[in-house]
Chains A and B, each alone.
Chain A
Amino acid sequence: MTITEFVVSRLNYWIYVILMMIGLFAMISKKNLIKKLIGMSIFQTAIILFYVSMGVKEESNIPILEHNIAHASDHAEASDHGQVEEIRAENYANPLPHVLMLTAIVVGVATLGVGLAVVQKIHQEFGTIEEPEILAKIKSGHG
């Protein structure tokens, strides 16, 4: 596999890894607490992207049965064509990653909410959200 092939055929993974790196870097290295939380959000979004791209199946539909397929057995005799459409696994996208990501999104929102509340509290207590300034305040005895 050549490099270009590796990049092109796995573009979705490249994008998620790059997003993840941006997020992780912001979480580790930024001094501003809100920027850290933004990094956290990007990181979590990158993971969601990874999972969702895992559930993709070419030439498949959303994992919801259409009415005529779902109730095929009820209509089989009544319909003139007499054609019963079967449920075929390759026609539907893998539903599991979507379910998992619904959970992960909710967890992400909850963590972000708590994180923002903690930053507000820090701002109330220290009057700043820059990490070095807070540490300086603690050192000088205001903490």
Chain B
Amino acid sequence: MKTLGAIAVIITGALLLYASEDFPAWGDPHSPASQYRVSQHYILKTFEETSVPNMVTAILADYRGYDTLFETVVIFTAGIAIIAILRGPIDKRVRLRLASEKKLRESNLILAQTCRLLVPIIQLFALYVIAHGHHSPGGGFQGGVIFGGSLILLAISFQLQTALDRVSEKKAILLAGVGVLIYSGIGLVCLLLGGNFLDYSILHNLLQVDPITARSHGILGVEIGVAFTVASIMFAIYANLSSRGRMKGGL
């Protein structure tokens, strides 16, 4: 197996390098990928068409918004999948052992106080990253991960239960579903108003703005949906993996 694997790997690597002789040089502004009209259009027209200065955000949530919808679905699926895989009937012995473990870990004072200070700041920053994705690097995924990180920090520095008291697993999955629903719901509203799925410009009647600004608002809406899903699923994944799906004890 080892030699077979090594041979396969070397052949693949050699092929990939063989092909790279044909590649444009690193950072070449005249490479086909940079010169073709897709990239040019994104750079030159994004602001004109969506009024969002951050091209990455605009492409992510609008031009290729359908991709991003399913990216959110992938995350959501992962959360559901992990629960489906790990959840089993809870063993009685395990429950007894966990009950005796309960008082085992006393929180360290410095740790607890630092964490208490940090968590709200992290969450505030997460909200900023989500809301400011139009103008600076950021958006739903980045902000959502940061927000999820704050909950994980809570679970690490206190106990898993401390974090679960704030956001139970059930609530996390519910919020994740709500996030996907916000995203796809905005798309569906576009469809019901007579446009194509995810065509935010059709929302201008509803929002009382011009079609281009409507696109910008639509992008903000779906970013919020993404943030909901990512934040809650990140936490759900951590909670499940750290407690082997029992949602008790933790690391």
Contact = CB atoms under 8 A, between A and B. Distances in A.
B241 A117 contact: yes
A10 B20 contact: yes
Contact of B9 (A11, A24, A55): A24
Given A92-B43, A96-B39, A113-B237, A24 B12 contact: yes
Given A20-B16, A94-B33, A120-B245, A9 B39 contact: no
A127 interface: no
B55 A64 contact: yes
B55 A95 contact: yes
A18 B71 CA distance: 28
A56 B27 contact: yes
A57 B27 contact: yes
A38 interface: no
Nearest to B238: A113
Contacts of A87: 43-44, 47
B85 A95 contact: no
B166 interface: no
A85 to B, nearest CB: 13
Contacts of A92: 43, 55
Interface in B67-102: 67-68, 71, 74-75, 77-78, 81-82, 85-86, 88
A84 interface: no
Interface size class on chain A is 35 or more
B56 A58 contact: no
Contact of A13 (B1, B23, B245): B23
Nearest to A14: B17
Contacts of B16: 13, 17, 20
A10 B26 CA distance: 7
Nearest to A9: B25
Interface in B2-50: 2, 4-6, 8-10, 12-13, 16-17, 20-21, 23, 25-29, 31, 33-34, 38-40, 42-44, 47
Given A10-B26, A54-B33, A117-B240, A89 B21 contact: no
Given A9-B25, A121-B85, A17 B67 contact: no
Contact of B85 (A63, A106, A107, A114): A114
B189 interface: no
A118 B82 CA distance: 8
A125 to B, nearest CB: 10
B59 A17 contact: no
Given A9-B26, A56-B27, A96-B59, A124 B20 contact: no
B136 A13 contact: no
16 contacts: A11-B26, A13-B23, A20-B12, A24-B8, A25-B6, A64-B53, A64-B55, A65-B54, A89-B44, A95-B59, A97-B33, A102-B56, A107-B74, A109-B75, A114-B85, A116-B241
Interface of B: 1-2, 4-6, 8-10, 12-13, 16-17, 20-21, 23, 25-29, 31, 33-34, 38-40, 42-44, 47, 53-56, 59-60, 64, 67-68, 71, 74-75, 77-78, 81-82, 85-86, 88, 135-137, 141, 230, 237, 240-241, 244-245
Given A57-B34, A96-B39, 18 more contacts: A10-B21, A12-B26, A13-B20, A29-B2, A56-B27, A58-B27, A64-B136, A67-B53, A70-B53, A90-B29, A94-B39, A95-B42, A95-B59, A106-B75, A107-B71, A113-B82, A117-B82, A120-B244
